[in-house]
Amino acid sequence: MYISDVLQRKGSNVASVESRSTVRELLAELAERNIGAVVVLTDQQPSGVVSERDIVRHLHAGGERVLDWPVSQIMATPIVTCTSKDTVDSVMVTMTERRVRHIPVIDDEQLAGIVSIGDVVKHMIAKLETDREQLETYIVKG
């Protein structure tokens, strides 16, 4: 299974904000789209990822003034990426080792999508279900 399979099911739409956007603007984007993370762009290129967790950690440490900071001050860097040709297994290992929950997909130097740990787990569960059904069929007909 490849990341392209995950993107085929979920789509390639990627929510993003500019690095100079404020955290307040970021919060509005997350709330409006009902999502937990976005890709941060600097000069139209992915430069980081920022999630609700990042916001909470910085609010706790810096208080309300964090809302007026640029997103670039709270985004997770360096950015961890993958390609659509990477396997789901390898991306799952990367997510675990690097302790990230969202990985932008970059193909031909272009943002092609984003995968979350939930996307990867959902895809793995579907594969396990398919494998189980195939085994049951094999045993019954065997």
pTM: predicted TM-score of the whole model, two decimal places:
0.85
More confident residue, 138 or 30: 30
pLDDT tens for residues 8-27? 988 889 999 999 999 999 99
Complete DSSP assignment for 82-126: B-TTSBHHHHHHHHHHHT-SEEEEEETTEEEEEEEHHHHHHHHHH
3-state secondary structure of 19: coil
pLDDT tens for residues 54-97? 999 999 988 899 999 999 999 988 899 999 999 999 999 999 99
Complete DSSP assignment for 23-68: HHHHHHHHHHHT-SEEEEEETTEEEEEEEHHHHHHHHHHHGGGGGG
Q: Which residues, other chains included, contact 109 with Cβ-Cβ below 8 Å and sequence gap of 6+?
A: none
Q: Which two tokens stand for residue 118?
A: 């939930």
Output the pLDDT for position 117: 93
pLDDT tens for residues 123-135? 889 888 988 888 8
Output the pLDDT for position 137: 86
Instruction: Residue 72: give its domain's CATH number.
Output: 3.10.580.10
Supply the range of the domain harboring residue 81.
3-141
Please answer whether residues 102 and 49 qualify as being in contact, where contact means their C-beta atoms are separated by less than 8 angstroms: yes
Output the pLDDT for position 18: 96
Total domains in the fold of the chain:
1
Output the pLDDT for position 62: 87
Task: State which amino acid sits at residue 40.
Answer: V
Please answer whether residues 52 and 30 qualify as being in contact, where contact means their C-beta atoms are separated by less than 8 angstroms: yes
pLDDT tens for residues 29-66? 999 999 999 999 999 899 999 999 999 999 998 889 99
Task: State which amino acid sits at residue 107.
Answer: D
Q: Is the pLDDT of residue 142 over 70?
A: no
Output the pLDDT for position 77: 86
